[in-house]
Chains A and B, each alone.
Chain A
Amino acid sequence: MNLNVLIVDDDKMITLLHKVMVVKNKISTNPPLLFSDGKMALEFLSSEYNPEERYLVLLDINMPVLNGWEFLDSIQSEQYANDLLVIIVTSSVDSSDKQKARTYPQVIGFLEKPLRAESCDFIKAIPSIAPFFS
């Protein structure tokens, strides 16, 4: 089964940096997909979602159009809601953001920007996705 990584961030340099990290650390089976806001990621999932594959969303919080929280609220009613994996990747070091993230069942991790080699090791060790890297 393939693991597709979606990088959702309005900061173009960050999406580029994270793409490099994801590729280098082999987190994604397919090339990671880049989106500059939650709405674009949502639209991609509605049209391209394939139940035969798994999707890991690296989600920023603070974005225009549809921010990270709004994205999470929107996916709750989608058919893929239970299968989607989300890791919040934010510049926020605010503990209330971390607490709020825990209230969403899809969120399996909370990382601070930028993604580094250690962050990638952390991602690979999360039990729900570890099998993809063994």
Chain B
Amino acid sequence: MTTTREDEERLRLLESVILNTTDGVLIAENDQNLDTKIVFVNEAFMKMSGFAKDEIIGLSPLNFFASDASVDELSKLKDAIDKFEPCNIVVKTTKKNGIKYWVNVSIAPVSDGSGGYKHWVYIQRDVNNRRRHLQALEEQNKKLKEIAWIQSHVVRAPLARIMGLVDLLSERHDSEELSNNQIIEAIASSANELDDIIRKIVLNTENAQNQSSL
């Protein structure tokens, strides 16, 4: 097979994509035992993971995941490898210094041109910041739901009492159950309870804000 200058130019361009991208790229090869071993690693993967080339080549791409990485996500990846199918997961992985970080991993089998598959392209993108933002948002949503529940069930309870008591006063029903003095006392204590609840909510919200700005 002869390669023309055009082919060489094209290959050089394609190679520069892998070399210059900020995504970590691995190429792995299945050996005779169908074990997947890394045969190529780009600069970005080394920078991202903290491992040197000779610490990566020859290992399986699965070696780098964190010990507490999601079992479900990893089994999706392993299934895809067994079936020679592409796959995309978000999973926790570990740097050489032990620090864990979130990556989006996509793998794709490379056809050898005769219907077989021997190579894998493995691309990982650092999604740590995105993940952290997402978690902070989820946390805030949970807080908002809690606040809505408190507003609805706790804050409205003494308020409903006040409204009912004022109704009773304004309609001046002669009720044996409550004298006017008792009604006024009950309004005052309900108003104080309402005040306490609102102060607590404000305090909690401030605490939550301080936590999220840390």
Chain A interface residues (CB < 8 Å from chain B)? 11, 13-14, 16-21, 24, 61-62, 90-94, 97, 112-117
Contact = CB atoms under 8 A, between A and B. Distances in A.
Contacts of B153: 61-62, 90-92, 94
Given A11-B161, A13-B186, A92 B173 contact: no
Chain B: interface size category: 20 to 34
A20 B172 CA distance: 12
Chain A interface helix/strand/loop/mixed: mixed
B137 interface: no
B149 interface: yes
Contacts of B163: 113-114, 116
Given A14-B160, A113-B156, 4 more contacts: A13-B164, A13-B186, A17-B164, A114-B163
A116 B171 CA distance: 11
Given A20-B177, A92-B156, A116 B161 contact: no
B167 interface: yes
A62 B150 CA distance: 11
B178 A16 contact: yes
B68 to A, nearest CB: 34
A7 B161 CA distance: 15
Contact of B157 (A11, A94, A116, A117): A11
Q: Which 4 A-B pairs have the closest CB atoms?
A: A114-B164, A113-B160, A91-B156, A17-B164
A11 B193 CA distance: 13
A13 B166 CA distance: 13
B168 interface: yes
A113 B164 contact: yes
A18 B153 CA distance: 18
Contact of B159 (A24, A91, A115): A91
A101 B163 CA distance: 24
B144 to A, nearest CB: 13
B13 interface: no
B160 to A, nearest CB: 4
Contacts of A17: 161, 164-165, 167-168
Given A13-B190, A19-B177, A20-B175, A94 B149 contact: yes
A22 B149 CA distance: 28
B173 A20 contact: yes
Contacts of A92: 152-153, 156
A97 B163 CA distance: 21
Nearest to B156: A91
Interface string B177-189: 1100000001000
Instruction: Pick the most buried of B149, B160, B163: most chain A CB atoms within 10 A of its CB.
Output: B160
Contacts of B168: 17, 20
Tell which of A13, A94, A116 has the most Cβ of chain B within 10 Å.
A13
